[in-house]
Amino acid sequence: MCKIHVLTSCNRKTISAWLLFLMELFLVLPCIFSTEIFKPAALQDQHLNHVRIKRGWMWKQIFVLEEQEITEPLYVGQLRSDLDNHDGSFKYILSGDGAKTVFTIDENTGAIYVLKKLDREEKPSYTLRAQVINSLTGVPVEAESEFIIKIQDINDNEPKFINEPYVAVVPEMSPEGTFVMQVTATDMDDPSYGNSARLIYSILQGQPHFSIEPKSGIIRVASKMDRETKDKYFVIIQAKDMVGNVGGLSTTTTVTITLSDVNDNGPKFKEKIYDMSILESALVGEIVGTVIADDRDIGENAEIIYIIEEKGDFNMFDINTDPITQEGIITLNKLVDYESKRRYNIRVKAINRYFDERFIKQDLFEDTTAIRIHIQDVDEPPVFVQNAYYMEIYENASIGSHVNSVTAKDPDITNSPIRYSIIHNQFSKLFGIDAHNGSIITLKPLDREVAPWHNITVTATESQNPIHVSKVPVYIQVMDVNDHAPQFSKKYDTFVCELSRPGQPIQTISAVDQDDPALGHYFSYSLAHKTTNFTVRDNGDNTATIFTTKSMYSYEDNPLTYLVIVISDNETPSLSSTNTLTIRVCDCGKDGNAESCKAQGFLSSLGINGGAFIAISVGVLLILVLSILMFLKHRKKHEKLKEKGEECRQNFVKYDDEGGGEQDTEAFDIIGLRNQTVMREPKLNKKIRRDIPSLYRMSLRLGPDVVEFREFLSEKLEEANTDLSVLSPDTMHHYAFEGTGSMCGSLSSIGSTCSHMELNI
């Protein structure tokens, strides 16, 4: 017979405790009607072999209700062996998870007690081990067995939302059922037991604009909303356990839902007519005024494009959109004139830059307004009829000749009289202007060859308001007249050979003319006097060629011939000039090469014949060689003096001489002082050779050979090196003499203490 003693204590008189008691009773019923209870596996195997065995441990699964207030040990279950006769011979031992701290056992009876309040969410179960031994011998009566004590859940935890805070964005005017977001809450109670962890979601605030699915927590749009009316909603969501029944615990969270903008509004002008004004002196591009259309949308949905409709005076103005303020900036496209037109009318249209296809059929994306622009009169300076004036006058015009006129007008209605003047510069002094009618005249003679153009600046000033001045450039071109005769283009060096034949060309000549005729130059050439030696032939291309007319020319009889040539231009009246061509006679040799005459002609012009030129050349060469040798010798000696160091002589030649104003002549003669320092007696060198021929003889190749000349140079160098009376190269000349009679005194620093310092070289 199955004997199970289960005692359950119910200290909490709540509905949950009664439900637990009924459940435990339901679990015990099978044991009441059963002839067998839980036994260890070994005993079950013996039973299968139809062997009568002893009973083993006897217990059921033990449950403990959480959150019970424990003031004294609370009985929760019973352990018993079927061998126990309740005579005190058995001893029960409890070990494992929570033994002696959370749970304890009665050693004699096997009753299990809980010692403190338990929390299922902290630890849902405990695994323990039970053992029964003979209290007298200590020998185990039953094998050690493991059992579990489970903590029974009660609804002691409220739901909690995760991933807070909740923020969502949904486009305005979204249709019903549009998904917004999903919220999620969790409950720490046992979801496998009862309804403590089963949640239901609901909206406490936010209807009728939003709805929520009770089981999933998905928030959806319940009605269309306009951002321009309200752009942000705070929806309060509740999560409640126990499937929302009475007694369930709940929590709330706030979902911030912002409506994003869609382009469902078009621009609207605040006024239907705008009045603006601008000065008539305004330049192209100046701002006339601004207009703005209001768009209730934001961001790119509120961006506006302004255009001027092609009606009225649309081409006089332009409009652009300010990207920051979204204003329409109207600017001047053409110059305006108060005297011509005083008011302009335009129509401006405002259009959304971007469109939303859902609302494009509503025709809400443009608006039009009228603008009246008034022109304001200003006192303007005079205006010249032309932006620049180009005038012409001949260079032979007399002083006071009329060049041309400039004209300026007062653009205002008053039409004030104009006064003209010239801003003078170095060129404007050649011209004058009538202050009343603007006529320009010459004040000095003009010369095209000096300045072909003259640039002047003319001003126009209102007589009634002198501060209004206008300027205009005037360009005056000086026209050419034939006032210069042609001349040789260069100086010619012409030669003729003594053995020339008649008809040979000896020189081609050309001419230049400072004038600049419109049809170009054409020069004609002729001889001023008839001659039997030469003739001139016009080549037809502004050049002419000189030809010989006889076969023999003599240098001894007539070395130079002067040929006078007349050059005429083709202007009206024609001008001509006489030019003299010098022709030299030279010996061209048997081959008749006239190029050799050029060198002879150059020497002849200097009065030097061929032999003298050779002698001079040889002399210059000898002087050059001697100079090089003396330089090398002096350099070598200077290097030796540097090596000797202190043996080098230091010579100081001091002249205390400073200019003394008007009585400067009382100073010492510096040249005399210097010559006096180096003065020495002339010495006769007996080694000087007297048999050196002259340079002329050397030019004729009659001088000494190279060996003799080298000996001569060596003797001269030796004499220079052995003459100790010559000053050393490292000599300082110091002048510090100040003359008397200067009214201003001396400004020199030579008389200071520094001038008496000893100089070391």
CB crowding 614-627: b at 16 or more within 10 Å, else e: bbeebeeeeeeeee
Q: Alpha-carbon torsion 720, 722, 725, 728, what sign?
A: positive
230-to-176, 365, 755 alpha-carbon distances in Å: 17, 22, 101
What pLDDT score does 85 carry? Answer: 78
The more confidently predicted of residues 573 and 313 is 313
pLDDT surpasses 50 at 145: yes
What pLDDT score does 427 carry? Answer: 66
DSSP, collapsed to helix, strand or coil, labels residue 291 as: strand
Q: Which of 86-95, 327-336, 489-498, 655-664 has the lowest mean pLDDT?
A: 655-664
Average pLDDT, the chain: 77
Average pLDDT of the residues in 196-218: 92
The more confidently predicted of residues 88 and 28 is 88
What residue ranges in 9-59 does DSSP mark as E strands?
57-58
Q: The domain 15-152 belongs to what CATH superfamily?
A: Cadherins (2.60.40.60)
What pLDDT score does 52 carry? Answer: 39
What pLDDT score does 540 carry? Answer: 85
Average pLDDT of the residues in 163-186: 94
* Cβ-contact 128, 94 below 8 angstroms: yes
What pLDDT score does 641 carry? Answer: 53
Q: Alpha-carbon torsion 375, 381, 385, 389, what sign?
A: negative
pLDDT in tens, 272-310: 999 999 998 899 999 999 999 998 888 888 899 999 999
Tokens of 211: 């709805």
What pLDDT score does 305 carry? Answer: 93
DSSP, collapsed to helix, strand or coil, labels residue 214 as: coil
Average pLDDT of the residues in 21-48: 40
pLDDT in tens, 619-644: 888 898 888 988 887 777 666 555 54
Average pLDDT of the residues in 20-47: 40
Out of 3.40.50.620, 3.30.2090.10, 2.60.40.60, 3.40.50.1820, the CATH code matching 160-260 is 2.60.40.60
pLDDT surpasses 50 at 413: yes
Q: pLDDT tier at 719 (50, 70, 90 boundaries)? A: confident
In terms of Cβ atoms closer than 10 Å to its own Cβ (0-12, 13-18, 19+), residue 389 is buried
Q: The domain 268-376 belongs to what CATH superfamily?
A: Cadherins (2.60.40.60)
pLDDT surpasses 80 at 681: no
Distance between CA 749 and CA 752 in Å, rounded? 5
pLDDT surpasses 50 at 263: yes
Long-range own/partner contacts, residues 190-195 (CB < 8 A, 24 or more apart): 190/120, 190/124, 190/153, 193/152, 193/153, 194/153, 194/155, 195/155, 195/241, 195/242, 195/243, 195/245, 195/248
Q: Check residue 306 and report its DSSP letter.
A: E
pLDDT in tens, 103-143: 999 888 888 999 998 988 888 889 999 889 888 888 888 88
Q: Tell me, which fold does domain 383-479 have in CATH?
A: Immunoglobulin-like (2.60.40)
Q: Check residue 99 and report its DSSP letter.
A: B
Q: Which of 48-52, 317-321, 427-431, 716-720 has the lowest mean pLDDT?
A: 48-52
Q: pLDDT tier at 752 (50, 70, 90 boundaries)? A: very low
Distance between CA 35 and CA 252 in Å, rounded? 54
What pLDDT score does 356 carry? Answer: 75
Residues near 42 by beta carbon (within 8 Å), at least 6 away in sequence = none
Q: Pick from 563, 578, 451, 555: which is nearest to 500 by CA?
A: 555
* Domain spanning 487-607, CATH architecture: Sandwich (2.60)
**Around Cβ 430, how many Cβ atoms within 10 Å?**
17
- Asked if 15-152 and 268-376 have one fold, the answer is yes
Q: pLDDT tier at 345 (50, 70, 90 boundaries)? A: very high
What residue ranges in 153-267 does DSSP mark as E strands?
160-161, 166-171, 179-182, 185-186, 200-205, 210-212, 218-221, 232-240, 250-260
pLDDT surpasses 60 at 493: yes
Q: Where are the domains positioned within the chain?
A: 15-152, 160-260, 268-376, 383-479, 487-607, 616-735
Helix (H) or strand (E) holding 402: strand 402-405
